[in-house]
């Protein structure tokens, strides 16, 4: 009996030590972060316009951080609420509640007291001002490799020009144990990032846009938060339209001619980007085409060139069931 008790004690000690090691790994060593780098955003009209173009039409900052009309195709912004934060409807498959914070210069509820370096760190490294790791729905892992200092600071310059709006957003809610693993995502950016390709370099620019715009986040099906192997850009995910408006299925945008966009002409794709209308004439929901519409013609053509080279994947996606 004494040996049994001793054995149980040893097991208990091992369990406690293992639990302490796990807690230390997740809650002491992560999220990985570095001291905020002192940075200064420019205030020239050219820099602000560059930031506006990126935030509005490329990186999707305002699409996620603003109140939107969820019942309208493309979820256009609610006028006067740009950058004030957003709360998504409850999603049965998501263990928590998704909220995007206020990005306006309001000093109490927005970014008014943040330094430029703190904003850039959050944008590219996934660490908030208070050291909290950000949920990776915010595509900081993409921005960590595709958003140069110049572009990141241009976005900051633009955000500084937004109308301050007092709107205190509650933090995102993520259930355990996913909340624990989220802490592993942030990583410091410690090497300079290359500038975005010039619009004249069509294919390179398109590849950069395809990544910077996070197109794969919606168009690649996933399971338990992980992309399905061999299904890049093959579609199949779905969203419910608020108010019982039906279900929208994310399309296959690979070059497959039967189930993807291989049969789309360049004009068809231009209409998708500029008007939010599919090949069959249907209005597109959830795809943020009101923001993509603001891309220059050169960038739209570059994006088309990049989409064209996505390898074909045969994946039949159900038709959306819209009730309007």
Tell me: the pLDDT tens digits for 47-99? 999 999 999 999 999 999 999 998 888 899 999 999 999 998 877 677 788 89
Residues 54 and 177 in one domain: yes
Give a yes or no: residue 78 inside a domain. Answer: yes
Residues 217 and 101 in one domain: no
Tell me: the pLDDT tens digits for 196-217? 999 999 999 999 999 999 999 9
Q: What band does 245 get if pLDDT is binned at 50, 70 and 90?
A: confident
Residues 128 and 252 in one domain: no
Task: Tell me if the bond preceding 31 is cis, omega within 30° of 0.
Answer: yes
Q: What is the pLDDT of residue 239?
A: 81
Q: What band does 1 get if pLDDT is binned at 50, 70 and 90?
A: low
Kindly tell me if the per-residue pLDDT of 176 is higher than 90.
no
Mean of pLDDT values over 4-20: 48
Tell me: the pLDDT tens digits for 271-313? 999 999 988 888 888 889 999 999 999 999 999 999 999 999 9
Residues 298 and 220: beta-carbon distance below 8 Å: no
The token duo for 207 is: 């590849």
Residues 177 and 52 in one domain: yes
Residues 242 and 164 in one domain: no
Tell me: the pLDDT tens digits for 229-242? 999 999 988 888 77
C-alpha Rg value of the chain to the nearest Å:
22
Residues 55 and 160 in one domain: yes
Q: Which residue has the higher pLDDT, 28 or 53?
A: 53
Give a yes or no: residue 197 inside a domain. Answer: no
Q: Which residue has the higher pLDDT, 224 or 115?
A: 115
Residues 155 and 246 in one domain: no
Give a yes or no: residue 50 inside a domain. Answer: yes
Q: How far apart are CA 86 and CA 175, in angstroms?
A: 19
Domain count, the chain: 2
Domain boundary pick from 182, 216, 251: 182
Give a yes or no: residue 6 inside a domain. Answer: no
Residues 178 and 236 in one domain: no
Instruction: List the CATH number of the domain containing 273.
Output: 1.10.760
**Least confident among 8-22, 81-95, 130-144:** 8-22
Residues 250 and 219: beta-carbon distance below 8 Å: yes
What DSSP string describes 218-260? HHS-EETTEEPTT-TT----EEEPTTT-EEEEPPP-SS-TTTS
Residues 264 and 151 in one domain: no
Residues 312 and 261 in one domain: yes
Domain with 74, as residue range(s), is 45-182
Residues 210 and 178 in one domain: no
The pTM is what?
0.88
Q: What is the pLDDT of residue 16?
A: 44
Tell me: the pLDDT tens digits for 140-159? 999 999 999 999 999 999 99
Give a yes or no: residue 67 inside a domain. Answer: yes
Q: What is the pLDDT of residue 241?
A: 77
Other Cβ atoms less than 10 A from the Cβ of 186: the count is 25
Residues 138 and 217 in one domain: no
Q: Which residue has the higher pLDDT, 102 or 91?
A: 102
Q: Which residue has the higher pLDDT, 244 or 118?
A: 118
Would you tell me the crossing angle of helices 266-275 and 297-308 to the nearest 10 degrees? 120
Can you tell me whether residue 174 is helix, strand or coil? strand
**Least confident among 25-29, 246-250, 261-265:** 25-29
What DSSP string describes 274-296? HH-B-TTSPBPSSS-HHHHTTS-
Q: What is the pLDDT of residue 323?
A: 67
């Amino acid at each position: 009996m004494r040996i049994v008790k001793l054995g149980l004690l040893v097991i208990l000690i091992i369990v406690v030590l293992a639990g302490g090691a796990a807690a230390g790994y997740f809650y002491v060593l992560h999220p990985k972060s570095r001291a905020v780098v002192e940075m200064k955003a420019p205030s020239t009209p050219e820099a602000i316009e560059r930031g506006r173009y990126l935030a509005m039409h490329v990186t999707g900052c305002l699409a996620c951080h603003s109140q939107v009309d969820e019942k309208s195709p493309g979820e256009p912004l609610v006028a006067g609420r740009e950058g004030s934060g957003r709360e998504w409807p409850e999603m049965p498959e998501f263990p928590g509640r998704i909220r995007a914070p206020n990005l306006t210069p309001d000093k109490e509820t927005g970014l008014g007291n943040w330094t430029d370096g703190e904003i850039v760190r959050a944008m590219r490294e996934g660490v908030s001002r208070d050291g909290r790791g950000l949920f990776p729905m915010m595509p900081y892992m993409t921005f960590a490799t595709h958003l140069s200092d110049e572009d990141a600071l241009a976005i900051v310059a633009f955000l500084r020009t937004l109308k301050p709006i007092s709107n205190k957003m509650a933090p995102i809610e993520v259930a355990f144990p996913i909340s624990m693993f989220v802490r592993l995502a942030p990583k410091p950016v410690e090497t300079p990032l290359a500038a975005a390709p010039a619009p004249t370099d069509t294919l390179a620019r398109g590849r950069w846009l395809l990544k910077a715009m996070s197109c794969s986040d919606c168009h690649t099906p996933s399971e338990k938060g992980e992309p399905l192997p061999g299904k890049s850009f093959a579609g199949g995910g779905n969203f419910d339209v608020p108010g019982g408006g039906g279900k929208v299925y994310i399309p296959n945008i690979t070059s497959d001619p039967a189930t993807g966009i291989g049969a789309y002409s360049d004009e068809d794709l231009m209409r998708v980007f500029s008007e939010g209308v599919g090949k069959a004439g249907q209005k597109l929901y959830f795809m943020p085409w009101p923001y993509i519409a603001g891309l220059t013609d050169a960038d739209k053509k570059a994006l088309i060139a990049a989409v064209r080279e996505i390898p074909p994947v045969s994946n039949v996606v159900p038709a959306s069931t819209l009730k309007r």
